[in-house]
Chain A
Amino acid sequence: MTAAMPMIQFNNVTKVYPGAPQPSVKNLTISVPEGETCVVIGPSGCGKTTTMKMVNRLIEPTEGEILVGGRDIMKQSSVDLRRGMGYVIQQIGLFPHFTIRDNVATVPNMLGWKKERTYQRIDELLEVVGLDPVQFRDRYPSQLSGGQRQRVGVARALAADPPVMLMDEPFGAIDPITRDRLQNEFLRLQKRMKKTIMFVTHDIDEALKMGTLVCILQVGGVLQQLDSPSHILSAPANKFVADFVGSDRGLKKLTLVRVSEVMNTELVVGRHDQSADELAARMRQRGEDSLFIVDEMEHLIGYVNLEDAQTQPGQRASAILQHPIAVTEAEATMKDAFSQMLSNGIRYLPVLDGQKRLVGMVTADDAQRLIEKKQPALSRSAS
């Protein structure tokens, strides 16, 4: 495929449900280049789910054509088409009578993969989505938490390594903290996988965070703007988009900036086996009133206050440390980080990477500086 050819292309697509007076999607023309994440968003009734489900023909367009990888989807078997795309839905839809392994194996089994290849792939995938294969592969979905189930849902969609993923509010039914974590993990994953993704959500923050392209639809499936998140914020195409994005655009700008872009990586940290004396001396020397403490693997295990270190000089760090109140991840947005600081009443957050190693720190001042900037930070690349 040439680079110029979009992976998903809608040409003048209209969908009218039988008996409905108005079309649900009207003359929609969009293209999603390979490797991009296109988030489709709009108020309820805007046809965002209809738009996505037309890509794998769960809903068939009334007019117009849809090309995936350059091929007209109506000219191939719907079953083959779907087996070549990952599909993740909000309700997850795991098979309750299948083990996790058999759930993830669904598409490979339909494609007739050899058993060894399938099993190897499943273990690899469970690892990728952060579930220990040995511990989880023989369990049933009912034995998993909501977040774990959606990890399995993502693994199942990725099983046959499809170039295209369709995701219908995948993190919509998950509690906010787990959702942030799953979003960050998925962003890390996508950085490596470079899938072409069509992602439906009703949450503008999620759209700005997850999308490299954001497609805003008006009720009736009329395209309002298809653009990068930063352009959506800095140059809304019309009043509808501006209203939809919201009046707190200053705050929304934080959504465009990743924690990794602003975090302070020159941290002074203490080791868990150092003595309180050493730590106190270190803090006084650097003018700090607390220190993050890490173990041999650079995993964050807590922090130590100057006061505690001075009053209990004989102790080791591990005996006087306090557990971190909250942490964030390098892939999180500054909005995630800022709202976490506000809700926990703290002014800084340690930043962890995918392996839970301490890689930096962000402060409330960082967030404030970003909000006060006249121009939104356009530093976010399309990678």
Chain B
Amino acid sequence: MTALLQDLANFFISFKDGLLYFLPQTGRPDRVAEFLWGHLLITFVTLFFAILISVPMGVLITRVRFLYDPVIKLAGMLYTVPSLAMFGILIPIVGIGFTPAVIALTLYSLLAIIRNTAVGIDGVDPAIIEAARGMGMTARGILLQVELPLALPVIFAGIRIAAVSTISLATIASFFGSDSLGKLIFEGISAGGTRNDKVMAGAIGAALLAILFDQVISRVERALPGSRA
């Protein structure tokens, strides 16, 4: 019982120490700003490419039906590759650091965004599409003015999932030489329990980034045409 209380006390102490990493002038920044920035950059670039590839791909498979299953299955297979194996495969090809991290995390993000884009577009009421066609809207007009705006909430749900999993997986990327909050965590772990504050700081940083991205994503979603209050 006392051991449990001791553990609990230690947890809160490292939590407090972890938090202190994010307050300036507390004497131990330990490159935390650099790691946060690196983590943010990896996540941002990953989501950029993931959206750029996945949304058109999701639209494509609703148009060319026979591609639907193969594409979803392939993205699903990529998603199941363990992250350590993924880096192991990529490093001989592109080296270590930022690039393999972005490539690996982009591949992981494909499934959620492709599938949600396709599901969102398929979910648009066929009567709305028929009315649009019947009024003489072009296929492009229907996609841009009707289907994508109406599928937006579902597509953004996919992007949110991709963002959260990217932020959490980006910690592992630091194992292979990229600057992310994972560095803090690994340093903490290798100190053998004496530097739990570092582990905590890494986790808190990732949580902060997750909140930040969620905010940014909802701002973007609300600013896009078609969404409404």
Taking residues whose C-beta sits less than 8 angstroms from the other chain, chain A's interface range is 20 to 34
Q: Which of B136, B141, B145 contacts A80 (CB 8 A)?
A: B136
Task: Let me know if A97 and B149 touch, CB within 8 A.
Answer: yes
Look across to chain B and name the residue whose beta carbon is closest to the beta carbon of A141.
Answer: B128
Task: Determine if B227 and A87 form an interchain contact, defined as CB atoms under 8 angstroms apart.
Answer: no
Known: A95-B146, A97-B149, A110-B136. A89 touches B228 (CB 8 A): no
Counting CB contacts under 8 A, is B127 at the interface? yes
Contact A110 B137 (CB under 8 A): yes
| Whole-angstrom CA separation of A141 from B137 in the bound complex | 20
Chain A residue at minimal CB-CB distance from B145: A95
Partner of A87, one of B135, B138, B150: B135
Determine if A87 and B149 form an interchain contact, defined as CB atoms under 8 angstroms apart: no
B130 within 8 A of partner (CB): yes
Q: Please state if B136 and A96 are interface contacts (CB–CB under 8 Å).
A: no
Instruction: Decide if B193 is an interface residue (CB 8 Å cutoff).
Output: no
Asked if A96 and B150 sit within 8 Å, CB to CB, the answer is: yes
Which partner residue on chain A sits nearest B141 by CB separation? A110
* Among candidates B127, B135, B146, residue contacting A83 with C-beta atoms closer than 8 Å: B135
Cross-interface CB contact of B131 among A83, A84, A92, A140, cutoff 8 Å: A92
Chain B residues positioned under 8 Å from A89 (CB to CB): 127, 130-131, 134
Q: CA–CA, A154 to B226, complex, Å?
A: 23
> Given that A97-B226, A97-B228 are known contacts, is A92 also in contact with B127, CB under 8 Å in the complex?
yes
Q: Which of A91, A97, A106 contacts B150 (CB 8 A)?
A: A97
Assess whether A83 is in contact with B128, with CB atoms less than 8 Å apart: no
The distance from the CB of A292 to the nearest CB of chain B, in whole angstroms, is 43
Q: Give how many A-B residue pairs fall within 8 Å (CB-CB).
A: 64
Are B130 and A58 within 8 A (Cβ)? yes
Query: Does any Cβ of A come within 8 Å of B69's Cβ?
Result: no
CA distance A286 to B227 in the complex (A): 64
Answer whether A97 and B135 are a contact pair too, CB < 8 Å, given A58-B130, A91-B125, A91-B127.
no
Q: Is the CB of B131 within 8 A of A93?
A: yes
Q: How far is the CB of B155 from chain A (nearest CB, A)?
A: 14
- A335 to nearest B CB, angstroms? 30
Q: Which residues of A contact B146 (CB under 8 A)?
A: 95
Interface positions, chain B 139-153, Cβ under 8 Å from A, are 141, 145-146, 149-150
In whole angstroms, how far apart are the Cα atoms of A110 and B135 in the complex?
9
Closest A residue to B137 by CB, please name it: A110
Complex Cα–Cα for A94 and B131 (A): 8
Contact B127 A79 (CB under 8 A): no
Tally chain B residues at the interface, Cβ within 8 Å: 21
Cβ of A81 < 8 Å from any Cβ of B?
yes
- Say whether A96 contacts B135, CB under 8 Å: no
Residues 156 to 188 of chain A near chain B (Cβ within 8 Å): 156-157, 166
**Closest Cβ neighbor of B129 among chain A residues:** A93
CB of A82 within 8 Å of the partner chain: yes
> In the complex, which residues of chain B have a beta carbon less than 8 angstroms from the beta carbon of A82?
133-136
How far apart are A53's CB and chain B's nearest CB, in angstroms? Answer: 8
Contact present for B128 and A96 (CB under 8 Å): yes
- Measured CA separation A79–B132 after assembly (Å): 11
Q: In the bound complex, do residue B128 and residue A58 qualify as a contact, i.e. CB atoms below 8 Å apart?
A: no
On chain A, the residues within 8 Å of B138 by CB distance are 79
In the complex formed, the residue of A with least CB distance to B128 is: A93
Contacting residues, chain A, for B134 (C-beta < 8 A): 56, 58, 82, 87, 89, 166
Inter-chain CA distance A266–B128, complex, in Å, is: 49
Judging by beta carbons under 8 Å apart, are A58 and B133 in contact? yes
Complexed CA–CA distance, A58 and B136 (Å)? 10
User: Which residues does chain B contribute within 8 Å of A96, judged by CB atoms?
Assistant: 128, 150
Contacting residues, chain A, for B141 (C-beta < 8 A): 110
Set of chain B residues within 8 Å of A81, measured between Cβ atoms:
136
Residues of A within 8 Å of B132, CB to CB, are 93, 95, 106
Chain B residues within 8 Å of A106, by CB: 132, 135, 137
**In this assembly, does A107 line the interface, its C-beta being within 8 Å of a C-beta of chain B?**
yes
Q: With A and B bound together, what is the CA distance between A143 and B228 in angstroms?
A: 13
Smallest CB separation, A267 vs chain B (Å): 44
Given A89-B130, A95-B146, A96-B150, also A83-B227 (CB < 8 A): no
A84-126 toward B: CB 8 Å interface, digit per residue (1/0)?
A: 1001010111111100000000110010000000000000000
CB distance from B221 to the nearest CB of A (A): 13
Give Cα A153–Cα B128 distance, bound, in whole angstroms.
Answer: 11
Task: Tell me if B149 and A93 are in contact (CB < 8 A).
Answer: no
Task: Report B-chain residues with C-beta under 8 Å of the C-beta of A91.
Answer: 125, 127, 130-131
A94 CB, min distance to chain B CBs, angstroms: 7
- A107/B226 in contact, CB under 8 A: no
CA distance A255 to B115 in the complex (A): 53
Binding site for A on B (CB under 8 A): 125, 127-138, 141, 145-146, 149-150, 226-228
8 contacts between A and B (CB under 8 A): A80-B136, A82-B134, A83-B135, A91-B130, A93-B130, A94-B131, A95-B132, A96-B150
Given contacts A97-B226, A97-B227, A106-B137, 20 further A-B contacts (CB under 8 A): A58-B134, A78-B136, A80-B136, A82-B133, A84-B136, A89-B130, A89-B134, A91-B127, A91-B130, A93-B132, A95-B128, A97-B149, A106-B132, A106-B135, A107-B136, A110-B135, A110-B141, A153-B131, A157-B135, A166-B134
Q: Which A residues are within 8 Å of any B CB, using their own CB?
A: 56, 58, 78-84, 87, 89, 91-97, 106-107, 110, 140, 153, 156-157, 166
Closest 7 CB pairs of A and B: A93-B131, A82-B136, A91-B127, A87-B134, A83-B136, A93-B127, A93-B128
